[in-house]
Amino acid sequence: MSELLTDIEAIRAQFPILKREVNGKPLIYLDNGATSQKPQSVIDAISHYYEYENSNIHRGVHTLSQDATAAYEDVRKKVQKFINAKYDHEVIFTSGTTGGINLVASSFGENLVRKGDEILITAMEHHSNIVPWQMLCERKGAILKVIPISKEGEIDIEEFKKLIGPKTELISLVHVSNSLGTINPIKEMIDIAHAQNIPVMIDGAQAIHHIPVDVQELDCDFYVFSAHKMYGPTGVGILYGKEELLNDMAPWQGGGDMIKNVTFEKTTYNELPHKFEAGTPNIAGGIGLGAAIDFINSIGYDFIGEHEAELSRFAVSQLRDIKGLRFIGTAKERAGLVSFVLDGIHPYDTGVILDKLGIAVRTGHHCTQPVMNFFEVPGTVRASFAVYNTKQEVIRLVEGIERVKRMF
């Protein structure tokens, strides 16, 4: 294997966008929880497909189609290895995390859940892991139950155990919270659920770029994530599912590629994974995801995890001293972000002033309105880190916040 890339300046040099200025200042991009920037290799992989291979997959006998199919299917195998799935047909391409959750809710959930059944989620879920279950519960007359969190932003495991009952049909959990940074003890929770034969789905949107994921070791039933938060393109993601569960599930969307044979009287469906991949997929996006995995592998999770943890620790140590700043989310196990409010200053105003200084942070409810209600804040300011961020950028953030404070 080639030497790992562990020099931050060399890593930064791979991201063309980091050279740009915003409002006359060098860009400091701290909104990686929303989407990460893309290295040149990902951009090149996408343009290479459009320049040299562009054609539809799985259907052409001609060279371009064969090449594109091979490139796309190679990525499926790459993802299989990346998350240690048992088979490559357990890897389903989707439009993203939201697409994956909706697929599971609509296909697995539709078949499984009956009137009066219960689905468990946590109080720190992204809207994408709330609304599809709510919609399913409304359709079926089922009940959505919420595992409470503490003021630190940690799941209460004892409450979780109490909430599991004979009517619990499914548990869907976020691996890493996008608004609090909490890393949840998902392995422990999966084991507790499995002891009662309850399937567990994991929303890995904020985990996959920070933490190595081994779906066989976790023994999760489903795991979903998006390419765009892990240095890949938008509009593509992955649903991992255990073979036996995916085989038992009905297709979700109908169309080309997911069929074996169609007549007006009856259609028979394709095998896994194509059964769940109706229509022309985001081929370029899939190929870009493959390049994003190569990028992450070229650095390695040890370095990524340590670098981001160091940035978070440094940010906390610097921000802690700012008067009137309150952290939202102080769990013991946290990944790559700080979320906070400033006394008397709306997060939106903070975000606008920081933008004038070239600093991109996320402000608002981060698609977790129940979390904001729980902490009784209108929203937070969130700085979320990626492998290309530096301590110098954190210092600039702290100076920016001091400046915001002086303006109010």
Ligand X SMILES: Cc1ncc(COP(=O)(O)O)c(C=O)c1O
Residues near ligand X (CB under 6 A) are 96-98, 126, 128-129, 174, 178, 203, 205-206, 226, 367
Sign of CA dihedral 304, 155, 340, 203: positive
How many CB atoms lie under 10 A from the CB of residue 25?
14
Q: Is 82 exposed, middle or buried (0-12, 13-18, 19+ CB in 10 A)?
A: buried
Distance of closest approach, residue 115 Cβ to ligand X, in angstroms: 28
Distance of closest approach, residue 196 Cβ to ligand X, in angstroms: 25
Q: What is the DSSP letter of 225?
A: E
Q: Which of 39, 132 has the CB closer to ligand X?
A: 132
Asked if residue 102 lies in contact with residue 95, where contact means CB atoms within 8 angstroms, the answer is no
Q: Residue for token digits 């769990």? A: 331
Q: Which of 168, 172 has the CB closer to ligand X?
A: 172
Asked if residue 336 lies in contact with residue 210, where contact means CB atoms within 8 angstroms, the answer is yes
C-alpha angle 222-242-305 in degrees, rounded to nearest 5: 50
Asked if residue 241 lies in contact with residue 264, where contact means CB atoms within 8 angstroms, the answer is no
Distance of closest approach, residue 64 Cβ to ligand X, in angstroms: 29
Amino acid of residue 378:
P
Locate 217 and state its tokens: 């070791």
Q: Which of 37, 206 has the CB closer to ligand X?
A: 206
Distance of closest approach, residue 223 Cβ to ligand X, in angstroms: 12
Q: What are phi and psi of 23, to 5 degrees?
A: 50, 40
Catalytic residue, chosen from 135, 192, 367, 377, is 367
Is 220 assigned a catalytic role? no
d(CA 2, CA 54) in angstroms, rounded, equals 30
Q: Which of 347, 400 has the CB closer to ligand X?
A: 347
Q: Residue for token digits 């036996």? A: 244
d(CA 346, CA 23) in angstroms, rounded, equals 22
Distance of closest approach, residue 367 Cβ to ligand X, in angstroms: 6
Distance of closest approach, residue 235 Cβ to ligand X, in angstroms: 9
Write the CB contacts of 30 (distance below 8 Å, at least 6 apart in sequence).
359, 360, 361, 383, 384, 385, 389, 393, 397
Distance of closest approach, residue 226 Cβ to ligand X, in angstroms: 3
Sign of CA dihedral 153, 157, 163, 167: positive
Q: Which of 94, 168 has the CB closer to ligand X?
A: 94
Asked if residue 361 lies in contact with residue 383, where contact means CB atoms within 8 angstroms, the answer is yes
Catalytic residues: 367
